[in-house]
Amino acid sequence: MYKRVLLKLSGEVLSGEAQKGFNEEHVNYLIREIKKVSEYGVKLGIVIGAGNLFRGRDFEGVRPTISDQIGMLGTVINALYLKDRFENAGIRTVVVSQIVTLPSVKLINYDDIDLYFDAGYIVIFAGGTSNPFFTTDTGAALRAVEMKAELLIKGTKVSGIYDKDPKIYNDAVKYNVITYDEAIEKDLKIMDTEAFSICKRYQMKILVMNFFEDNNLLRAIRGENVGTLVVPSK
Ligand SMILES: Nc1ncnc2c1ncn2[C@@H]1O[C@H](COP(=O)(O)OP(=O)(O)OP(=O)(O)O)[C@@H](O)[C@H]1O
Ligand SMILES: O=c1ccn([C@@H]2O[C@H](COP(=O)(O)O)[C@@H](O)[C@H]2O)c(=O)[nH]1
């Protein structure tokens, strides 16, 4: 069983696929899945995207430097929303970020991360990388390395990494295991090249799996065979 995990969730986990906002059924499902793993004492960091609110590329005619900042703020909105929902469900949660000063958001301080984990908190890292021109996948890779995670799980709407986008191609074939080099060379767009590169440099294992399948998160953390694992070599 993995004891220290960074979970990256697409914003659409909160809204449902191709939807916007917060969907009660999806949020309750997310809470149930997180509760299952928090009960095992897993030290869990979460990076949440903002596809349910704003993606930088959604704003036509707005400079990327500005629209990306709007996108990053969306991740803070999601993080605060989750903090409240988690805490109502009895899951102790702290939100950390470098992009905003707000009463319920703490500044990221590496020395404090272990204190939060030891006190039984889930840590939500909000604000992506803190820089425009990136995505929360890259933010997740950085935070996974920073929190010394054993595994970065990307919880998404597809069952793993395929040889091409399975939402577009019916004949896409899924990998069980793939190396960072293969993922980068084949330009498999499930994650940014930047995210794969950071994970490669620090040998951070990645697991891509369908978050919408019951118990998948728990199974992934138990080391069971779900999704696609990205490793240094096969
Ligand atoms: N080779 C591939 N294997 C699997 N999925 C792929 C591949 N290429 C592209 N995809 C697509 O990557 C997408 C991954 O979505 P992801 O969970 O990262 O959502 P996002 O849009 O980045 O997040 P957010 O909703 O927070 O903005 C899926 O929609 C999937 O169809
Ligand atoms: O490091 C980052 C992370 C995110 N952004 C902007 O936020 C949105 C939402 O993130 P998703 O990963 O797409 O869910 C993204 O589209 C960017 O516009 C950023 O600028 N820098």
Domains, the chain, with CATH or none: 4-231 (3.40.1160.10)
The predicted structure's pLDDT at residue 220? 98
What lies within 8 Å, CB to CB, of 60 at 6+ separation is: none
Question: Ligand 1: which of 72, 156, 207, 213 to mutate, judged by most atoms within 8 Å of the beta carbon?
Answer: 156
The reported pTM is: 0.97
Q: Is the CB of 161 under 6 A from ligand 1?
A: yes
CB 136 within 8 A of CB 126: no
Strands 228-231 and 205-210: antiparallel
Calculate how far, in angstroms, residue 165's C-alpha sits from the geometric centre of ligand 1. 8
The predicted structure's pLDDT at residue 131? 98
The bound ligand whose nearest atom lies closest to the alpha carbon of 158 is: 1
- Protein residue whose Cα sits closest to atom 8 of ligand 2: 71
Identify the segments of the chain with pLDDT beneath 50: none
Per DSSP, the three-state class of 231 is strand
Q: Is the CB of 162 under 6 A from ligand 1?
A: yes
The predicted structure's pLDDT at residue 234? 83
Question: Ligand 1: which of 22, 159, 167 to mutate, judged by most atoms within 8 Å of the beta carbon?
Answer: 167
ipTM for the predicted complex: 0.96
For residue 48, give the nearest of 155, 145, 190, 160 by alpha carbon.
155
Strands across the sheet with 43-48, in order? 105-107, 93-97, 122-126, 43-48, 4-9, 151-156, 205-210, 228-231, 177-179
The predicted structure's pLDDT at residue 14? 97
The predicted structure's pLDDT at residue 135? 97
For residue 47, give the nearest of 198, 156, 179, 162 by alpha carbon.
156
